[in-house]
Each structure stands twice: as structure tokens, then as C-alpha cells.
Structure 1
């Protein structure tokens, strides 16, 4: 559950300096920043993408399952509906995908775009793979492709200046909506 709390503008900040800013607190992001649930070694032990596979779709926030890949919501989304396509096999690099995995990853990307357009009217998408921790991969040991829906005007002062994103829907509700819109 997303809990956003605001502080009163007259609250003392720092060492007693007052300012006129409202503050939005998103403490759930601290788990991501501190590396909660990130695997520490090179193997699949403790890998959240390997653990998710064994969960029910609802508990794992899985939207759709294929033979070689699955689509899952991002626990720390950049936008509502931010999902990932993940191979079942624990591999780190795109070049390690076999031809069937490559094909199904591409097909699931197309299906994700279709579902997001249908369910939420997405205007565009950011789609990408971060290969290695130096390239921004939060979980570098298990390949995953991000699909981030975008809308005109979805970047405003809050994420740009406040480094905060307000999400209008709970992840379980977003999962149900996208699973229903997923092409058969």
C-alpha cells in the first residue's frame, strides 16, 4: 500500500530553518535504495525474479506467463503500469538468451504495449534493458526488460524537482487490470 504523508509547511527543517515547502514521503522507496530482496551472489539463490516464478500470479504480481518468459509489475515503478518481461531462466546477459527466449521476450513486449494501451490509454513507452550494474540494472544477475508506459504531461514538477512519483493505483489493482487486458 502506498502511503504518502505531507508535513506542515511551518514544521522546522534541518537545524531550525523554516521554509514553505510541503513534503511528500515515500518510505517504501527506501527498501529499493537499500537493496532489499536483491541477490547478493552470482547464482539464482535469493533472486527475486526466480522466487516470483513459484508464486501465484496475484502474490507475485505476474500479469501473464509464457513458456520461456513472464510479465510482472515492477515493485518500484517509474509510472503506473511499469512492468517487466523476464525470462524464467536465471541469466544475466541478453546474449545468453536462446532463440526461443529472444522471440518470446519480443512477443511479450508487443503484448505488454497492447495491454497497456488498452487498459490505461498509454501514449508512448520507454522500453529497455539495463545490462550490468554500471548500466543501471538494479538486479543485474537476472535479465529483465522494462516497459514503462508514458502519457503526455506525465513528467511535471513532482518527479523532476521533488524526485517523487505519485501513483494513482495499488499494484494489485494494476496487475488485475493489465492481466484482464493482456491479449489472448
Structure 2
């Protein structure tokens, strides 16, 4: 089938001899290839096996996208967010299961989750949230060796045609800017 060329070019696949022009515009997201390939994913279950949740607290808040540090846990932005402001609350200790947390860790994780909700409401006016953990690879945990709780802000209409039909998420703010805004909005203890 021969198609008429359009007056716009959306990428190298439309160059002669490279591929058939199909009239679609494309949103290129090459940064997601790191997620698809599993880059920075631990090579094993130990904290010395490249666990990013063990490495992140060693750097600066800005470089690690850390929003707030506590005694037993810290809040960090997700590098591959479902929505703007998608953050995680992680214990410093390398544990895989919620049942492995000691009382102090479990309490601080719960309190940090409450503060994350308050910060997201203040910073972004979120209408609701998805909060939860995927415990184990079969449950969907991308990094199953180190427990982390997701806090995903939601707004009415945030599941529009882009993610449903286009399988693309539009994020209106850079992660560093989101981190600064949430750190500023985090409630005091």
C-alpha cells in the first residue's frame, strides 16, 4: 500500500527506505529504556548487589531525588512515575517484606506516608491517591529485594486517552522541580 506523504515528519522511520510512513506522530521517551532493560535493578537479594534504595541515601537529596529523610525511612521520587509526584517511602534497612520491619520502622513508614499525602495535597491539589506495596516479584515489585511503599497522586480525568489509547503518560514537570516542591511542602514533625 502506498501512502501520500504528509507535510510533517515525525522521525527517522519516515525517511525513504527506512520504513513506511503511517501518519502517526510519535512521542519519543528514550529515558524509559533504562526501566525496560532493568538498568539500576539489583543483581541479587543483598544490599551489596546494587540496590538503588540502599545507594540513594548515600548521595545528596537533589541527586537522589530524596524529598525527606527520617530516622528509619526516607521519601524519594519514583524515576518512572505513573503520575507527577509519584513517590515512594523506603526503609533505610534492606528488607524485602513488610513483616520484617521492626516497630519503629513500621511506625515511621506509616507517618511518612501520612506526611507524603499532606505534601502532595498542598503542592498539587491531588484529588485522591493510590497507596500500596508490591511484595515480591510475582506481585509486581520491580525491586522486590527492598521494601518500598508507593504513593501515587490522582486527579479526576488523569486517565484520559493518552495512557489508555496512546500508552503514553504526560508529566508536566521535571523530577528535580517536583522534588523541590514536595520537599518545601512536606509538613514538619
- Normalised to the residue count of structure 1, the TM-score between the two structures is 0.92
Q: How does 1:1-184 map to 2 (within 5 A)?
A: 7=10, 11=14, 16-45=19-48, 46-184=50-188
Greater C-alpha radius of gyration: 2
Show the counterpart of 2:4.
none
Distance in 1 separating the partners of 2:60 and 2:133: 25
Q: Contact conserved, 1:13 with 1:19, CA < 8 A, in 2?
A: no
Q: Contact conserved, 1:111 with 1:182, CA < 8 A, in 2?
A: yes
- Residues 13 and 124 (structure 1), Cα distance of their counterparts in 2 relative to 1, 3 Å cut: farther
- The alignment covers a number of residue pairs equal to 178
**Could you tell me how far 1:25 is from its partner in structure 2?**
1.2
* SS of the residue 1:32 aligns to: helix
Give RMSD over aligned pairs. Answer: 1.8
Q: Contact conserved, 2:128 with 2:155, CA < 8 A, in 1?
A: yes
**Could you tell me how far 1:146 is from its partner in structure 2?**
0.4
CA-to-aligned-CA distance 1:63-106 (integer Å, 9 cap, x gap): 00111000000001010000000000000011101111111111
| Residue ranges of structure 1 left out of the alignment (5+ in a row) | 1-5
Distance in 1 separating the partners of 2:26 and 2:92: 40
**Could you tell me how far 1:161 is from its partner in structure 2?**
1.3
* SS of the residue 1:25 aligns to: coil
* SS of the residue 1:24 aligns to: coil
| Residue ranges of structure 2 left out of the alignment (5+ in a row) | 1-8
Show the counterpart of 2:6.
none
Q: Contact conserved, 1:52 with 1:60, CA < 8 A, in 2?
A: yes
Q: Contact conserved, 2:14 with 2:20, CA < 8 A, in 1?
A: no
